[in-house]
Amino acid sequence: MTNRIKRTERKLRPLLLLCALALLIWLLTPLLLSALINKADLRKALDQFIAPTERSLNYEPEIRASLFPSPTIRLRDVTVSEPNQPSRTVIKAADLSLRFNWQSLFQTPEVTRIIMSGITVDASRDEQGHWSVQDLLNLGSTQPSRLSVLSTLRIGNAQLNLVDEGLQKNYQIDQFSLDAAGLQGNAGQLALAGKFIQEGRDLAFQAQTDTQKQAPQYALNNLLVNAQLLNDDGIIDANIRLLAKGLWHPDEGTLDLNSADMVIESHQGRANTNLHIAQWHMTPAQMLIPSIAVNAHLTQDSLNQLDVTGLVSNVSFFGNLLQVEDSSFQAEYKRLQKTLLMTARASMTANTDRQFQINDLSFSSREQNATDNSQRWRTFLQGDAKGVFGDHAELSSSGTFDDSPLALDLNYQAQRADKIQLRLDLERFNAGNYVSLPSIGSASADAYLPLFDDDTPFDFSWLDQLNISGDVAISKIQLGTLLFNQVSTHIQAEPKLLTLQDVHARLYEGDLMGSLQLDTSTTPKLTINQSIKGMSVHAWLNDLFGYDRLSGTGDTDLSLETQGNSAKKMRERLNGTLHIALNQGKLHGIDFLELIQQISRQENLTTPMALDVDQQSDTPFQSFQANIQLKNGVANNQNFSLVSPFITLKGKGSLDLNKQDLNYQLHVQGRASAPLKYRKLNIPLNITGPIKAPSYAIDYKTLVQNEDTPEARQKALQKELANQFSQWFAPPKP
């Protein structure tokens, strides 16, 4: 028995010794680690790691002796300098904790967990487009296989200060986490989460996927990414959701996604964009997407909506260059009873410096009106564009607008409050296609001012979102029946405010200069300051007001202000001043000398007489002047003056644009240089009634102020007229 025990003891002794040795090694691991990974060796290893960047690395190390095989190293107050500039720090970390996986004393330890906090990164980009931390990023991408052993990454309280072409942008990483423990087995889960803050806007995201190991790669099933973009008030501006499946090859660093669907919701659900990507291949050096199908819908309200469909083909990213071989879009914008149809097509290249170039750009549009089947906004543009994303963009194009040749240059500058600078050259523009302007023929037979008689409410919603400035040149503009030639102006458009400065145009053989401002922040307010030199007024008055009784060439200065929701309301609130000075013209349809003779032949000289317009009659004049004050649509004229070869007319009166009638008191006097039979004329006239059919009467109260009875006034008038017209005709007997 004793011998059997001794024989058994001799057999177990090597096994017991081996177990005792293993236990001793396990218990002595902390001491061994302290000896093998001392501070000097740690510093040497880290210095060798960062040496290629020519940067200096400083820290306070702490080696935590934990049970083999998972030692932890903690670095505090870590700083990384600029290359060859030890005093300039680009990266700071208050705390950096690394956990290793060390399966064997003869194997290089692998990092399985990284926890960082209190990080500040100051990075800038030089004129060549290189970031100051690019070399550090390259260090982390030299061995993609190391990613497969990293199971946990935590980042908290990090600040990124980036200076790009003189502009500083600050980002904050509130939190970021990576849980990749599922990659260590045959099946599991991979999860990502984080929150970034930039200038008060938050981006929070969560991503997870089921993983299945298919050595040497992983199948990603049910990949789901959710992201939210929040504004300053914490309200969600956009929701982004991505659902896909694919394969990940960590050793090669490749990712292939199949059937990726992305949904973007913005503007509190009013805008939805769906992207379908059949294949998506990514490597550290390139990205390939054969096609992206786009479907977007935007609803502003129940009456306004935009639908966009498109296809982006052959998207590739090599090195720092992004290329889009072809993209085509169709859009349909519905507003009330109108539909605007648009198509666009282009190819594009861009780089990591955010520079882009758009080639072979073509754009077309046309609007259909459901009420009358009319078409407008017929546009076709071809051109090229270039710029820097988020900074500036330039577009140069040519084409047609409503069949009229067009050249358009746009320049967008983010530094200028997102304003668009433009230069527009257009051969012809008919405003009647875009603004409701009744024609002269639509007015009643007794009405003037048809252009300003429309009570349809204005629609200035197109001005709400405009933020542009620039120079516009249009060869011909048709505004209702008005025709402007060689128009040029500097346009300044802000939301609800449109200003036209330095307006120049040829208008009816004259030169127009001035400015215009439209303010729609409350009730639409229009302010006009214009000066017109050498204009032929006959065609102008006829086209604008349907008034054909005055001709001549001269100057007009006007300063007008009005407010209202329709043309009629604006006419009723029209205020300002108007000065007219004409030379060598005519008053058409009336001969004042013949008029006075007709009045004098009446049996009752005190009764107003309506005069039929005789297109063959006129009163020629050498000069015509009027200074008019407008108040609430009533034009008051206190110094009317007309000088004819034989007579002068002077007086005052008013023209009510709302009621379309007039009330004038004129004095007809013979000129001293006129033939003898005209020299005695000194007749006061009253002109009253509708503009188109006024009545004329002698102002008998002025001529016979001392007579009391009607009979006496009649006799006194006949006597006065007989004296003035004695050389023309014998007045009627009393």
User: 161 or 578: whose pLDDT is higher?
Assistant: 578
For the beta carbon of residue 41, count every other beta carbon within 10 angstroms: 12
Q: What is the model's pLDDT at position 602?
A: 62
Write a three-state SS string for 29-48: HHHHHHHHCCHHHHHHHHHH
| Bridge-based pairing state of the strands 167-179 and 550-563 | unpaired
Q: What is the model's pLDDT at position 140?
A: 52
Dist CA 83 CA 92 (whole Å): 15
Mean pLDDT, residues 31-59: 67
The pTM for the full model equals: 0.60
Most confident of 78-87, 262-271, 343-352, 589-598: 343-352
Q: What is the model's pLDDT at position 38?
A: 62
Mean pLDDT, residues 301-325: 84
Q: Are 75 and 94 in contact (CB under 8 A)?
A: no
Please give the structure tokens belonging to residue 665. Answer: 């008191």
- Positive or negative torsion for Cα 128, 134, 139, 143: negative
Boundaries of every domain in the chain: 27-179, 574-734
Q: What is the model's pLDDT at position 234?
A: 65
DSSP structure string for 412-460: EEGGGTTEEEEEEEEEEEEGGGTS----GGGS-TT---GGG---PPP--
Residue recorded with tokens 């059997």: 4
319-339 pLDDT, tens digit per residue, is 668 899 999 999 998 877 778
Tell me the residue type at 335: R
Share of the chain above pLDDT 70, in %: 72
452-477 pLDDT, tens digit per residue, is 566 778 878 777 777 888 899 999 98
| Bridge-based pairing state of the strands 419-430 and 468-479 | parallel
477-518 pLDDT, tens digit per residue, is 887 777 889 999 999 988 889 999 999 999 888 999 999 999
Please give the structure tokens belonging to residue 257. Answer: 């996604």
Q: What is the model's pLDDT at position 100?
A: 73
Dist CA 307 CA 537 (whole Å): 49
Tell me the residue type at 709: T
Q: What is the model's pLDDT at position 729?
A: 44
Q: How far is CA 480 from CA 440, 460, 483, in A?
A: 9, 18, 8
Residue 532: name the closest of 545, 541, 542, 520 by CA. Answer: 541
Coil, helix or strand for 163? strand
Q: What is the model's pLDDT at position 11?
A: 46
Q: How far is CA 507 from CA 30, 439, 453, 454, 629, in A?
A: 96, 19, 23, 24, 23
